[in-house]
Amino acid sequence: MRNLRVVLTVLAAVAVVAAGLVVVRLVTGSPNGAAPASSWGTPTPTRSPRNDVERLEQQYKLVDRTRPDRTEVHRRSDNELVATLTVGARTVVVAGPERRFSEPSSTPAEIESTSWVRVAPEPWQTRRGKDEEFVGWLLDQIEDEDPPIDVLAATMQYLADAPDGRNDEGVRYIGDAGFGYVHSADERDGADFYDYLEIPWEFSDSGKKKPSERWDRDLDCSGFVRLIYGYRFGLPLFNDPVSTTVDGLPRTASSMASYARSVLVAAGRTPGKAPADLSALQPGDLVFFSLHKEDPNLITHSGIYLGKDEDGGMRFVSSRETVDGPTFGDVNGDGVVDSGYFGERLRRVIRL
């Protein structure tokens, strides 16, 4: 009987220790009982990844956010945000080396930014996180230590006194651009990207168009946006008027705001009012204004949001008559979307 009691005592002690080990493992594996940040957040077992999808899951955590719907990519080692992808949009903001944008001829403001704006091969959908080709592209953008020029840096190549540059085909595709806009009813809208480039362009909806000699080296506001996102970064371009959503950039600012396939970031409660909340803006977004004196509902101007300057002003770049070309300066109105002349006239923000 005494031996039986000893055996039972030993078994009981073993059971208590085992139970304690189980409790410790549960607490260690899930502190405070917290669930993963999203369905993507659970790391795979540590081993050499077989492909880019497994490497993304092992080294990064994908967290889904809303307003607008988007996915944040955080590095697991330090939880740093390294990329933001918006559902339904091709523009992706990637964390990269810090750089400074300045335009001393038009403003004392400077923008320090670590945001690099890329154009993805397809609009982001969460299922693309399992697409080997898309994930490979994303990892290349995140991990490139010497990143190529992005959307924001490209806009700076057309400001006052920007040096000329030619591509492999001999086309002068960068350099100081002037402003060209319609001044009479019998002329077309203004200087488009191919007028600036001084080359003919074959449009899928209207055939070949020749550049205007009047507007060589000039851009109107929408022509500037089309030069950057279309000619430089590959979004499809349309020439004829549109009345339905298109996968690309229509010709005019009002058509872009209404019909370019995109994600709505901000808009006023009525067409003639400025948006009340601009907190969702990110660099690369398209901003649209009503500069028409008699019709506050009519969108007549477009630009590209750059980010906040050192005083917190939300700077945008656009081609304007006041400085004869692209600028983010303060000539005839501060070049910000959150106050002043342009802030009062901002109507809509979209993400391509």
3-state SS string for 106-173: CCCCEEEEEEEEEECCCCECHHHHHCHHHHHHHHHHHHCCCCCCCHHHHHHHHCCCCCCEECCCCCEE
* 56, 72, 76, 221, 226 from 132: Cα distances, Å: 10, 18, 20, 38, 30
Residue 278 maps to a domain: no
* pLDDT score for 181: 86
* pLDDT score for 214: 87
What is the residue type of 167? N
Residue 29 maps to a domain: no
Q: What crossing angle do the helices spanning 52-59 and 132-143 adopt, rounded to 10°?
A: 50
Residue 88 maps to a domain: yes
pLDDT along the chain (352 residues), means of 10: 40 38 30 40 68 97 98 98 98 98 98 98 96 98 96 98 97 97 65 97 96 92 98 98 97 97 97 96 98 91 98 98 97 96 98 98
CB atoms near residue 281 (< 10 Å): 21
Strands 286-289 and 263-267: unpaired
Residue 123 maps to a domain: yes
Report DSSP letters for 197-237, one per residue.
Answer: HTS-EEETTTEEEPPPSTTTTEE-HHHHHHIIIIIIT---B
Q: Domain span at residue 104?
A: 52-146
Q: Are 340 and 334 spatial neighbours (Cβ–Cβ below 8 Å)? A: yes
Residue 190 maps to a domain: no
Percent of the chain exceeding pLDDT 70 equals 85
C-alpha span between 189 and 185 (Å, rounded): 9
Residue that has been written with the tokens 């330090």 in this structure: 78
How many domains are there within the chain?
A: 1
Rg, Å, the chain Cα set = 26
Express each pLDDT in 83-105 by its tens digit.
Answer: 999 999 999 999 999 999 999 99
* pLDDT score for 260: 98
Chain-centre distance for alpha carbon 246 = 19
CB atoms near residue 298 (< 10 Å): 14
Residue 120 maps to a domain: yes
Strands 218-219 and 178-179: parallel
Residue 137 maps to a domain: yes
Residue 105 maps to a domain: yes
Main-chain dihedrals φ then ψ at residue 96, nearest 5 degrees: -145, -170
